[in-house]
Amino acid sequence: MNVRLARAEDLIGMQASNLQNLPENYTMRFWIYHLMSWPQLSYVAEDHKGRIVGYVLSKIDEPDEDNPEGETHGHVNSISVLREYRRLGIARKMMLLSQDAMEKIYGAAYCSLHVRKSNKAAIALYKETLGFEVAKVEKKYYGDGEDALYMRLYFDPEENQNS
């Protein structure tokens, strides 16, 4: 299994993998926008035939008019691994690579993400393996009315403890 930076030619495979694994799907325009805007943040896992079996799609959010006091941070839009390739450490590896680029290349203070309250596997990955904390619960965040946990991992461990 090879985990590497995502390239434009991977986008079809990433979208296909997303359609197979998650109910939150996006237009090709969305995938292209993220890859072109933040080319160092998204990763794929490919099998020996070069088939995309997992991806993480991430972006950077910067302080803006709506949130002038906010900190520059990374945000994981979507991550998934095809069923037959799960529990091999692929998601962990892709997350660590993306987080590292957020911090080192973009100077991000933390990484954030949303996850369904019922998604035990993903919550275990974020909390137990990667050290994310739940910052808040966003009620009815998903289209079907399910709540989201908004989770955050500060790259400075001291800040993570205080957050």
Ligand X SMILES: CC(C)(COP(=O)(O)OP(=O)(O)OC[C@H]1O[C@@H](n2cnc3c(N)ncnc32)[C@H](O)[C@@H]1OP(=O)(O)O)[C@@H](O)C(=O)NCCC(=O)NCCS
Helix, strand or coil, per DSSP, at residue 38: coil
Q: Check binding of 18 to ligand X (CB under 6 A).
A: no
Rounded-to-integer distance, Cα 36 and Cα 42, Å: 10
Cβ distance to ligand X smaller for residue 49 or 87: 87
- The binder of ligand X chosen from 87, 145, 158, 161 (CB under 6 A): 87
Q: Check binding of 39 to ligand X (CB under 6 A).
A: no
Q: Check binding of 80 to ligand X (CB under 6 A).
A: yes
**Of 38, 31, 37, 33, residue with least CA distance to 10:** 31
Q: Check binding of 53 to ligand X (CB under 6 A).
A: no
62: how many CB neighbours lie within 10 A of its CB? 11
Q: Check binding of 143 to ligand X (CB under 6 A).
A: no
**148-154: strand order across its sheet:** 2-5, 43-46, 52-61, 73-81, 110-116, 148-154, 133-138
Rounded-to-integer distance, Cα 83 and Cα 72, Å: 33
- The binder of ligand X chosen from 11, 53, 125, 149 (CB under 6 A): 125
The distance of closest approach from Cβ of residue 10 to ligand X in the complex, given in angstroms and rounded to an integer, is: 16
Q: Check binding of 112 to ligand X (CB under 6 A).
A: no
**Would strands 73-81 and 110-116 be described as parallel, antiparallel, or unpaired?**
parallel
Q: Site size for ligand X, by CB under 6 A?
A: 21
Segment lying near ligand X (by CB under 6 A), choices 1-9, 28-36, 86-94, 98-106: 86-94
Cβ distance to ligand X smaller for residue 21 or 154: 21
Q: Check binding of 128 to ligand X (CB under 6 A).
A: yes
Rounded-to-integer distance, Cα 60 and Cα 162, Å: 22
The residues that touch ligand X, with contacts defined as CB under 6 A, are: 21-22, 79-81, 86-92, 115, 119-122, 124-125, 128-129
